[in-house]
């Protein structure tokens, strides 16, 4: 199965024609509350494609936390390792989306920062028996690193998404990543090099590869992705299909969740094919509003993806 160790956030989303400047108030035309957090998003996308999934996370003992647990259940995600703490509120993200589908986001991690070694110990059995483990940086990085170590030691495939980006990422994140998957911004922060096109992505990809991961994927929004691996150190551009983007919030998480599904359930596909299929799934997600609300279900997708 797919195990995700990561964050849950309640998204408070406001839609405006344009994003406000500092000090400015703009009037929005729509508000909604959604389920987000990179870890949970990735887990939900993998589950909707048909993966058996477990989420290892912490929410608050509050209404947002209760609702989040119900959300996991509706998505058929195991909540055995979802902790509910009195010491912090459920993580929250305030998101503003403009009419071009661009966004700005403020995150208050809350309970997410309380995911710790104890949570991992409780879940040791599922972590070590998983096909794929997925980690990000919205919980305490030391906890993500420990989870990756546990999985790696048991031969579980590790998929690491260094998001949100950190300039001084612990070097072991690279050596413990079978697949290191970042977007343009994260790649820029990690390497200090600009990423504006597939050629740049190939360059930063090869730099990240030298830090010890087996395979690097840099996602490029509408341009799809660039992949580069130890086995094939020539960067390969895997283009995404042309679609009309409506809301790109959470596209990267849809991509990572889909990739985790393919790694776990179709391990014999080539990486290029897995990326092509994951691009397709993420491109479906940008055509609908919201984060998890835009993630497609297996039953609604073309049969040749499975």
Active-site residues, by number, are 253
Pairing of strands 132-135, 157-160: parallel
In angstroms, what CA-CA distances link 281 with 31, 35, 37, 163, 268? 26, 19, 19, 20, 19
Interacting residues with ligand ADP (CB under 6 A): 183, 219-222, 224-225, 240, 243, 245, 248, 251-252, 255, 279, 282-283, 286
67 is in an annotated binding site: no
25 is in an annotated binding site: no
290 is in an annotated binding site: yes
Q: How far is the CB of 280 from ligand ADP (least distance, A)?
A: 8
9 is in an annotated binding site: yes
41 is in an annotated binding site: yes
Q: How far is the CB of 136 from ligand ADP (least distance, A)?
A: 10
83 or 202: CB nearest ligand ADP: 202
Instruction: Quote the distance between the C-alpha of residue 158 and its chain's center.
Output: 13
The three-class DSSP label of residue 239 is: coil
Q: How far is the CB of 219 from ligand ADP (least distance, A)?
A: 3
CA geometry: angle 43, 53, 156, nearest 5 deg = 95
123 or 259: CB nearest ligand ADP: 259
207 or 222: CB nearest ligand ADP: 222
Q: How far is the CB of 285 from ligand ADP (least distance, A)?
A: 7
69 or 165: CB nearest ligand ADP: 165
Phi, psi (5° rounding) for residue 216? -120, 135
* Residue 56 and residue 3 in contact, taking contact as beta carbons nearer than 8 Å: yes
201 is in an annotated binding site: no
Q: Is 38 left (phi over 0), alpha (psi -120 to 50) or beta?
A: alpha
In angstroms, what CA-CA distances link 127 with 50, 85, 132, 149, 171? 19, 22, 9, 10, 22
* Residues contacting residue 296 through CB under 8 Å, at least 6 positions apart: 48, 281, 284, 285
81 or 255: CB nearest ligand ADP: 255
Q: How far is the CB of 71 from ligand ADP (least distance, A)?
A: 20
Q: Is the dihedral of CA 190, 193, 197, 201 positive or negative?
A: negative
Burial class (CB in 10 A: 0-12, 13-18, 19+), 141: middle
253 is in an annotated binding site: yes
The number of helices, as runs of H, and strands, as runs of E, in the chain is 10, 14
Q: Which residues does the annotation place in the binding site?
A: 9-11, 37-41, 138, 183, 219-224, 247, 249, 252-253, 279, 285, 288, 290, 294
Which residues are known binding-site members for K(+)?
A: 247, 249, 285, 288, 290, 294
Give the annotated binding-site residues for ATP.
183, 219-224, 252-253, 279
Annotated binding residues for substrate? 9-11, 37-41, 138, 253
């Amino acid at each position: 199965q797919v195990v995700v160790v990561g964050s849950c956030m309640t998204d408070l989303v406001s839609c405006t024609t344009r994003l406000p400047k500092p000090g400015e108030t703009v009037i929005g035309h729509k508000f909604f509350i959604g389920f987000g957090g990179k870890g949970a998003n990735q887990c939900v996308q993998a589950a909707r494609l048909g993966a058996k999934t477990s989420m290892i996370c912490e929410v608050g003992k509050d209404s947002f936390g209760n609702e989040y647990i119900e959300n996991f259940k509706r998505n058929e995600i195991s909540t055995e390792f979802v902790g509910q703490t009195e010491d912090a509120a459920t993580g929250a993200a305030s998101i503003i989306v403009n009419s071009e589908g661009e966004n700005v986001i403020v995150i208050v991690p809350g309970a997410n920062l309380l995911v710790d070694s104890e949570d991992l110990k409780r879940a040791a059995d599922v972590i070590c028996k998983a096909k794929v483990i997925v980690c990000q940086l919205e919980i305490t990085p030391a906890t993500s690193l420990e989870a990756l170590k546990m999985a790696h030691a048991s031969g579980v495939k590790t998929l690491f998404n260094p998001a949100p980006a950190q300039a001084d990422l612990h070097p072991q994140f690279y050596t413990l990543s079978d697949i290191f998957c970042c977007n343009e911004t994260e790649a820029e922060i990690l390497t200090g090099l600009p990423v504006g096109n597939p050629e740049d992505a190939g360059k930063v990809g090869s730099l990240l590869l030298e830090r010890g991961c087996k395979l690097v994927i840099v996602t490029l929004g509408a341009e799809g992705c660039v992949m580069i691996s130890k086995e094939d150190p020539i960067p390969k551009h895997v283009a995404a299909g042309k679609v009309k983007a409506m809301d790109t919030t959470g596209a990267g998480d849809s991509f990572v969740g889909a990739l985790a599904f393919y790694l776990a359930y179709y391990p014999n596909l080539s990486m290029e094919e897995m990326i092509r299929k994951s691009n397709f799934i993420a491109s479906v997600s940008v055509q609908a509003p919201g984060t998890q609300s835009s993630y497609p279900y297996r039953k609604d997708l073309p049969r040749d993806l499975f």
